[in-house]
Amino acid sequence: MTTQADSGSRGRTPLAGSAKTRSHSDASSPTLSPSMQARLPFRSLREWGELLQRHSGSGPTNPHWKPAIGVPVAIRVSPRARRIGLRIDAAERRVELVLPRGVSARTGLRFLATKRGWVEARLEALPQPVPFVEGAIVPVLGVPHRIRCEFDLMAPPVRIIDGEIRVQADPLPLARRVRNHLLGMAQAEISSRAYRLAASIGREVARVSVRDTKSRWGSCSRQGNLSFCWRLILAPELVLDQVVAHEVAHLVEMNHGPRFWRLVESLAPGGAGARAWLKQHRARLLSYG
């Protein structure tokens, strides 16, 4: 069995410090060309957040979307729970009802009914989904780009240029083409960073994989396999660098002790700001696609 480093215990980098909002009963070629990289201006993480927020309502999404309590509800019995709890799962856009042992589902659902206003408020606060369709605004390394179809038969299937994600008209669905391109870009960008950082500390990476993980940004196994969420390609480079450094550091320290954090900071300074940015914008990054 592969043992993974976990940010709460040993190395997994979660999508947020706390991935879900809670309530209790007592109260998220493919490489960038040099010309594109030159167009990516330096901004602080605060400025990247403001930029992302400014464009969060852009694109062909429904401005009147108002979710009701009728969203999916998952019921889970936890032997460690001492009271009924509610969690809003931003990744799945659903409600999770956590019950202590011995508490019936009916009792839990009655509690859920009393928290209807709390649930609706938090569901409405989630960012609206941004599907990959023509006209949608999608960040690439933190920079907003508009998806646009083009009919130039000499152009590549997907290219990122002049603030646009230009997609060649093709029978293959546009959304899949954009997603595949961003996945490839994430694989290339993350792999190059991971191998370079690992070499700088005298360690080897066995493999780098990119997936659409919903509960963590990255992980590191004891065999040296690194795994990352492809959505990191939507975040500013400062954030991407920090997550890669976090997992590479686990090649040396499979823990979160003082030596681990000193190593992360030496590989990619500014970790606290990057982690705060991810926690604040987690739901927004999960809304794309």
How sure is the predictor about 154, in pLDDT bands with cuts at 50, 70 and 90? confident
Structural domains in the chain?
13-27+44-61+173-286 (3.30.2010.10), 73-125 (no CATH)
Tell me the C-alpha distance between 231 and 183, whole Å. Answer: 8
pLDDT in the model for residue 73: 85
What is the pLDDT, as a whole number, of residue 83? 92
Is 10's pLDDT higher than 50?
Answer: no
Phi, psi of 272 (to 5 degrees): -60, -45
Which residues, other chains included, contact 286 with Cβ-Cβ below 8 Å and sequence gap of 6+?
15, 28, 90, 91, 214, 231
Please compute the mean of the pLDDT values over residues 242-256 and round it to a whole number: 96
Position 271 pLDDT exceeds 70: yes
pLDDT band, very low/low/confident/very high, at 49 (cuts 50, 70, 90): low
- Out of 161-175, 226-240, 260-274, least confident range: 161-175
**Separation of alpha carbons 194 and 158, rounded Å:** 25
| 187-197: pLDDT as tens digits | 999 999 999 99
Q: What angle in degrees, to the nearest 10, is found between the helix axes of 237-249 and 45-54?
A: 120
pLDDT at 120: 86
Helix (H, G, I), strand (E, B) or coil at 226: strand
Higher pLDDT, 9 or 122: 122
pLDDT band at 2 (very low <50, low <70, confident <90, very high): very low
pLDDT at 212: 94
Determine what percent of the chain is predicted with pLDDT higher than 90. Answer: 51
Q: What is the per-residue burial (b if ≥16 Cβ within 10 Å, else e) of 229-257? A: bbbbbbbbbbbbbbbbbbbbbbbebbebe
For the chain, count helices (H), then strands (E): 8, 12
pLDDT band at 71 (very low <50, low <70, confident <90, very high): confident
What average pLDDT does the chain have? Answer: 80
pLDDT value for 250: 97
- pLDDT at residue 261 tops 50: yes
Does position 5 have pLDDT exceeding 60, yes or no? no
Band (54; pLDDT cuts 50, 70, 90): low
Residue 98: pLDDT above 60? Answer: yes
* Percentage with pLDDT > 70 across the chain: 75
Six-digit token string for 22: 């809670």
